């Protein structure tokens, strides 16, 4: 049941289009997934996927799939070959016009759809800061960043004002996918319908103003800010942007876009693109207020070096920026900010755990590197009993050199196995097992 005050407002604003808008709520929601370019090329992806796919027109990565198919239960999903995402939501990151090597902030990032889309376009170059103020949602964000193999991401759990003090005019581009009244999700989300009120629309607009003002402080001159909501309320969309521009004279409006469920195959969204006035020299690279993270040398991590020389191809030719948090070893993005004073869930790529006289690789490493990056791999067929058993945590018989193997499913990395005595021991994380 749609709120009556919402219907009254939409009827007044849409006029003769209102019957079409109302009829869209009788249609089934569109389901879509987004290819992960960090792991698979378009041709390979379309050939391997066992689903009935149709292209989403506003992103080269997106595909619709039928409601009866369940790609979320497929091993390719566990391998991070794709991300299941509402199709309209895929449009937002396209407006950032991401280029490899840039510094990008996704300020309200959970559950991670837009962050992982940005990460795919960065191609492992530059820095992506994914922030989520809510702790439980930040954990989900971090898990999705890991599954999709985004190695150059810093995942934080902070309020925007705290980040603004650390990153003044630091980012090339910022995405603010703002918390909103969720009107655009009424068709698929009953909770959003039940929580809606005109008062909540106003509350959301005030919160969005605060978030936008903090985001403005972190964008460099000439940088791009994309603001989005999944609501139809003008107070949270056009009015919110107009008010922001009055408060921030150093910004200019470039364009905005509304996605309507009666006009497209997707839910409702609003997207606005702003630019901070000014320009920079090409080599402009400000430091964060808390400095840079301290990088370890390979000599300080001999257990990792021993592992790498044995199991990682071209180990000596790679550039390693190592950071130790307790006994957990990470590979940091270039110019990684210091983590001092920040609530951090994931500082770059988690490589693994330094244990006494040995190194145990992380699940994140298995998902971030390609099979060609490892000396030993063991491929399982996607239709086999073995892959289902592996995802359930079971061991299997195998012959070969002893040591760590990347277990793959039709060429996509799934996790680790360790071969000894003809048995491949299962190192798939217990919390992910089926």
- Residue 429 CB-density burial (10 A; 0-12 exposed, 13-18 middle, 19+ buried): middle
Distance CA 161, CA 218 (A): 10
Residue of 112, 81, 119 whose CA lies nearest to 98: 119
- Residue 373 CB-density burial (10 A; 0-12 exposed, 13-18 middle, 19+ buried): middle
Which segments of 307-387 are extended strands (E)?
Answer: 322-325, 328-331, 344-347, 349-355, 358-361, 377-380
Residue of 187, 135, 184 whose CA lies nearest to 156: 135
Distance CA 74, CA 72 (A): 6
Tokens of 206: 């005030």
Distance CA 175, CA 271 (A): 10
Q: To 10 degrees, what angle do helices 135-147 and 113-122 make?
A: 40
Distance CA 153, CA 336 (A): 10
Residue 326, sorted as left (phi over 0), alpha (psi -120 to 50) or beta, turns out to be left
Residue of 77, 36, 70, 131 whose CA lies nearest to 432: 77
- Total Cβ atoms within 10 A of residue 319: 6
Q: What angle is formed at CA 333 by the lines to CA 374 and CA 328, rounded to 5 degrees?
A: 65
Contacts of 334 (CB under 8 A, 6+ apart): 125, 126, 127, 152, 321
Which one of 108, 180, 230, 301 is the catalytic residue?
Answer: 230
Q: Is 108 among the residues known to form the active site?
A: no
Tell me which residue has tokens 């080599």.
Answer: 283
Give the residue numbers annotated as catalytic, written as ranges: 230
């Amino acid at each position: 049941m749609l709120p009556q005050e919402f219907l009254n407002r939409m009827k007044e604003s849409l006029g003769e289009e209102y019957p079409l808008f109302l009829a869209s709520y009788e249609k089934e929601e569109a389901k879509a997934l987004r290819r992960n370019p960090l792991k698979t090329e378009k041709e390979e992806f379309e050939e391997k996927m066992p689903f009935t796919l149709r292209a989403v027109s506003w992103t080269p990565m997106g595909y619709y799939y039928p409601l009866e198919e369940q790609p979320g239960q497929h091993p390719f999903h566990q391998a991070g070959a794709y991300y299941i995402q509402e199709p309209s939501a895929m449009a937002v990151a396209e407006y950032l016009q991401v280029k490899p090597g840039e510094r990008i902030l996704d300020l309200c990032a959970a559950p991670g759809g837009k962050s992982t889309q940005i990460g795919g376009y960065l191609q492992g170059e530059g820095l992506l800061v994914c922030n989520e103020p809510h702790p439980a949602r930040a954990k989900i964000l971090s898990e999705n960043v890991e599954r999709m193999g985004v190695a150059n991401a810093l995942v934080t759990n902070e309020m925007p004002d705290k980040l603004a003090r650390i990153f003044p005019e630091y980012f090339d581009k910022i995405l603010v996918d703002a918390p909103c009244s969720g009107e655009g999700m009424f068709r698929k989300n009953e909770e959003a319908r039940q929580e809606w009120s005109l008062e909540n629309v106003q509350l959301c607009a005030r919160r969005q103003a605060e978030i936008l003002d903090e985001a403005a402080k972190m964008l460099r001159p000439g940088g791009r800010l994309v603001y989005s909501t999944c609501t139809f309320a003008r107070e949270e969309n056009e009015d919110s942007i107009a008010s922001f521009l009055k408060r921030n004279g150093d910004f200019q409006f470039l364009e905005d876009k509304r996605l309507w469920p009666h006009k497209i195959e997707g839910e409702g969204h609003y997207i606005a693109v702003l630019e901070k006035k000014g320009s920079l020299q090409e080599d402009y690279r400000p430091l964060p207020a808390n400095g840079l993270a301290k990088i370890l040398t390979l000599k300080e991590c001999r257990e990792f070096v021993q592992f790498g020389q044995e199991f990682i191809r071209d180990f000596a030719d790679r550039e390693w920026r190592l950071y130790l948090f307790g006994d957990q070893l990470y590979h940091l993005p270039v110019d990684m900010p210091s983590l001092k004073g920040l609530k951090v869930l994931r500082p770059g790529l988690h490589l693994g755990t330094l244990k006494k006289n040995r190194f145990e690789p992380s699940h994140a490493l298995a998902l971030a590197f390609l099979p060609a990056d490892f000396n030993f791999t063991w491929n399982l067929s996607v239709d086999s009993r073995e892959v289902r058993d592996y995802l359930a945590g079971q061991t299997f018989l195998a012959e070969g050199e002893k040591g760590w193997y990347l277990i793959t499913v039709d060429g996509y990395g799934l996790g680790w196995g360790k071969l000894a005595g003809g048995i491949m021991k299962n190192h798939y994380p217990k919390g992910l097992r089926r």
